[in-house]
Structure 1
Amino acid sequence: MSKHLLKLAVLYWGLAAPLAAVHAEGFPNKPIRLVVPFAPGGGTDSVARLLSKRITERTGQPVVVETRVGAGGAIGAALVAKAPADGYTLLLTVTGPITIIPNVNPNVGYKTSDLAPVAIAYRSPFMVMVGTDSPYQSLGQLLADGRNKQPAPSYGSSGIGALSHLVSELINQQAGTHFNHVPYKGSQDTLYAMVRGDVQWGLQSAADARSFLAAGKLRPLAVLSKERSARMPDVPTLEESGIHGVDLDLWFGLFAPAATPSATVHSLNTLVNEILAEPEIAKRLQELGGQAPTDANTPEIVKKTIDREVQSFGAVARAIKLKLE
């Protein structure tokens, strides 16, 4: 080998070795902080702990679940939005802190665009529920009283501006009803209010209501998805009751700060989808009252879902003149 070629070879390997070492380190190579903006014991917390355990087992890196409760999930979302954009601080949340709160509260401290979608980790049927002592045996009976009875029956929500609030108001719009809103501090308070009969109905996910449903304390009248739930095939859809334009379930999404490199976001997406495909994880998610996404689950597709919901919920918020401060 000539001296010139020898110098080139030395230069090449001198540059390539560090690059190879960097590539070998991969992602993640240090502990991950997973922020949950809702109280322990709920559906979000349960999914976060299931997911964090498997990420740790697969990567060898600890995933620390950190609860940051407050402002309907906005405190935890704002924390992640302002965190270093390196993929090591993540948020697991339902739709409210992403598609609703930052678009109706100008003082919340972050925007929807400040968080980059990674993947949907879980979907749970969103349902119209009543207490088992309720006189309403069908959605049709409830809607009839919502249109004609004075005062109209009341519904409970997880708080002003929560998903359960806006979607209930969407039902008011689509069904021509006049249900009265009673806000509570979270899903658990709402569920207990329905059991006691303090409110006549409410919208909650199967994940949050699973123990109440299993104990026979609540009765679902309808699911909000276009098709019946495979887990509860006897429960009709809103479409079957003549209410159109309401088609959603409750999703739990994983998010990173917006400036996180695309390669890191897609690495996380691949990791999460591999975990969700595991039979044992699928079984556990079903036990929690839902399932992993059954369609494509890329960051780009999740963003389209978010954009669609921002538009839909924004229209409802404007119609009811909702403002959060």
Structure 2
Amino acid sequence: MPWMKRLVAAVFLPGVFLGVFLANGPASAETYPSRPIRLLHGFAAGGAADTLSRIIADGLSKKLGQPIIVEAKPGAGGNIAADAVAKAAPDGYTLGLVTGAHAISAATYKSLAYQPAESFDMVSTLVYYALVIAVRNDHPAKSLGDLIAMAKEKPGALSFGSVGFGSTHHLAGELLNAMAGVEIVHVPYRGDSQSVTALLGGEVPVIVGTPVLLASQIQGGAIRGLAVTSPARTALLPNVPTVQEAGIQGYDVRTWAGLLAPKGTPPAIIATLNAATLEALGDPDLKQRLETAVGGEVRGSSPEEMKKLIETEITKWTGVVERAKLPKI
């Protein structure tokens, strides 16, 4: 009888039976992806993370043959989105784009609903980029040196805006405070666009922002870039000096962005996503779009390399938080 023959095959050929079962399972590499994928990020629409998400989603969609829907879940320095990814089904259909703030959260929060390194399976890094310290063009500080002198003269009188507490932007400002011996008060906003609006509207005199959003305003004369946070000047803002050029030797803050998935995602699916990501990053047009978007450099990685990066960053930023004596939230 046909059903008996199938039963005998299952008993005597368990490897074949298991292979057929996995091939038809919901998380098999053979069928993945068979429907649209969600890509979550934790920052406001229109900001750098949103821009990066949409560019890489376009590239991955072409490689994987399925739509990738970008969804912003802003707030808490990216933690709301990261928590949603950590709690999602580990089937490859929910991914997260995280930035350097992902590792910083381990240093700035008393507790998290997830572990930045252990609650995820990493896919690949995407880009590395610097930030820029800027003022409105009518601000009296013509250089970072001027700003530091003003801050020393009146401790606590100046403030700087960022994309939120616990972001790389925030910690870049706090590191400047610690290394320059000043007290510029942090004011958090919900994304890059809001901090730029606050600067132009006079709510805050200084911001630490993303070059992609500030470049046009700097080039147009509305905003003055005082310094970039990387050791070398950026291609996007070649006329803006570095913090080190202003005399703060050893200052180096570069953020990054990468893709991850919920812990327990099948290794074959992680391998598929990693291969598709690296292939997409190798496309000259997509590479140029990403680098133009952040004024940085494209750099893919293995899942293991990305996990090591996050672990190293957690150690680094924990030291910065302790040195700056920041209260944990």
Structure 2 residue 241 is matched with structure 1 residue 236: yes
The structure-2 alpha-carbon separation of the partners of 1:116 and 1:243, relative to structure 1 and needing over 3 Å to count, comes to: farther
| 1:15 counterpart residue number | 16
Q: Distance in 2 between matches of 1:258 and 1:24?
A: 17
Q: Distance in 1 between matches of 2:266 and 2:29?
A: 18
Q: Distance in 1 between matches of 2:236 and 2:178?
A: 29
Q: Distance in 1 between matches of 2:305 and 2:328?
A: 29
Q: Distance in 1 between matches of 2:294 and 2:164?
A: 22
Query: For the aligned residues, what is the CA RMSD?
Result: 2.9
Amino acid paired to 1:213 = I
Please report how far the alpha carbon of residue 247 of structure 1 lies from its aligned counterpart in structure 2 after TM superposition.
1.6
Please report how far the alpha carbon of residue 62 of structure 1 lies from its aligned counterpart in structure 2 after TM superposition.
1.9
| 2:67 counterpart residue number | 62
Give 1:309's match in structure 2, choosing from 303, 307, 313.
313
> Are 1:90 and 1:257, in contact at CA under 8 Å, matched by a contact in 2?
yes
Which runs of structure 2 are paired with 1:141-290 in the superposition (5 Å)? 141-149=146-154, 152-290=157-295
The structure-2 alpha-carbon separation of the partners of 1:43 and 1:321, relative to structure 1 and needing over 3 Å to count, comes to: closer
Which deviates more, 184-193 or 23-32? 23-32
The structure-2 alpha-carbon separation of the partners of 1:79 and 1:45, relative to structure 1 and needing over 3 Å to count, comes to: same
Q: Distance in 1 between matches of 2:130 and 2:165?
A: 21
The structure-2 alpha-carbon separation of the partners of 1:120 and 1:209, relative to structure 1 and needing over 3 Å to count, comes to: farther
| 2:4 counterpart residue number | none
Please report how far the alpha carbon of residue 168 of structure 1 lies from its aligned counterpart in structure 2 after TM superposition.
0.8
Please report how far the alpha carbon of residue 150 of structure 1 lies from its aligned counterpart in structure 2 after TM superposition.
5.0
> Are 1:161 and 1:322, in contact at CA under 8 Å, matched by a contact in 2?
no
TM-score, normalising length: structure 2:
0.84
Give 1:101's match in structure 2, choosing from 82, 105, 117.
105
Q: Distance in 2 between matches of 1:191 and 1:24?
A: 43
Q: Distance in 2 between matches of 1:247 and 1:66?
A: 31
Q: Distance in 1 between matches of 2:141 and 2:89?
A: 50
> Are 2:155 and 2:182, in contact at CA under 8 Å, matched by a contact in 1?
no
Which sections of structure 1, spanning at least 5 residues, go unmatched?
Answer: 1-7
Which runs of structure 2 are paired with 1:43-62 in the superposition (5 Å)? 43-62=48-67
Which sections of structure 2, spanning at least 5 residues, go unmatched?
Answer: 1-8
Q: Distance in 2 between matches of 1:169 and 1:21?
A: 51
Q: Distance in 1 between matches of 2:199 and 2:22?
A: 59
User: Aligned with 1:53: secondary structure?
Assistant: helix
Please report how far the alpha carbon of residue 210 of structure 1 lies from its aligned counterpart in structure 2 after TM superposition.
4.1
Amino acid paired to 1:77 = A
User: Aligned with 2:258: secondary structure?
Assistant: strand
Q: Distance in 1 between matches of 2:191 and 2:68?
A: 26
Please report how far the alpha carbon of residue 214 of structure 1 lies from its aligned counterpart in structure 2 after TM superposition.
4.8
> Are 2:106 and 2:314, in contact at CA under 8 Å, matched by a contact in 1?
no
Q: Distance in 1 between matches of 2:259 and 2:52?
A: 11
Please report how far the alpha carbon of residue 27 of structure 1 lies from its aligned counterpart in structure 2 after TM superposition.
3.7
Q: Distance in 1 between matches of 2:77 and 2:234?
A: 27
| 1:5 counterpart residue number | none
Q: Deviations over 1:66-108 (max 9, x none)?
A: 2223333211110101112232210012222x21224433454
Q: Distance in 1 between matches of 2:163 and 2:29?
A: 46
Q: Distance in 2 between matches of 1:24 and 1:130?
A: 50
User: Aligned with 2:165: secondary structure?
Assistant: coil
> Are 1:35 and 1:68, in contact at CA under 8 Å, matched by a contact in 2?
yes
> Are 2:74 and 2:80, in contact at CA under 8 Å, matched by a contact in 1?
yes
Please report how far the alpha carbon of residue 297 of structure 1 lies from its aligned counterpart in structure 2 after TM superposition.
2.0
Please report how far the alpha carbon of residue 169 of structure 1 lies from its aligned counterpart in structure 2 after TM superposition.
1.1
> Are 2:106 and 2:318, in contact at CA under 8 Å, matched by a contact in 1?
no
Q: Distance in 1 between matches of 2:292 and 2:203?
A: 29
Amino acid paired to 1:36 = H
Q: Deviations over 1:28-75 (max 9, x none)?
A: 333211112222221211221222122222221221222223333211
The structure-2 alpha-carbon separation of the partners of 1:59 and 1:221, relative to structure 1 and needing over 3 Å to count, comes to: same
> Are 2:36 and 2:66, in contact at CA under 8 Å, matched by a contact in 1?
yes
Q: Deviations over 1:236-275 (max 9, x none)?
A: 2222222134322232221111222334323212211211
Q: Distance in 1 between matches of 2:75 and 2:156?
A: 33
> Are 1:118 and 1:256, in contact at CA under 8 Å, matched by a contact in 2?
yes
Identity of aligned residues (%): 36
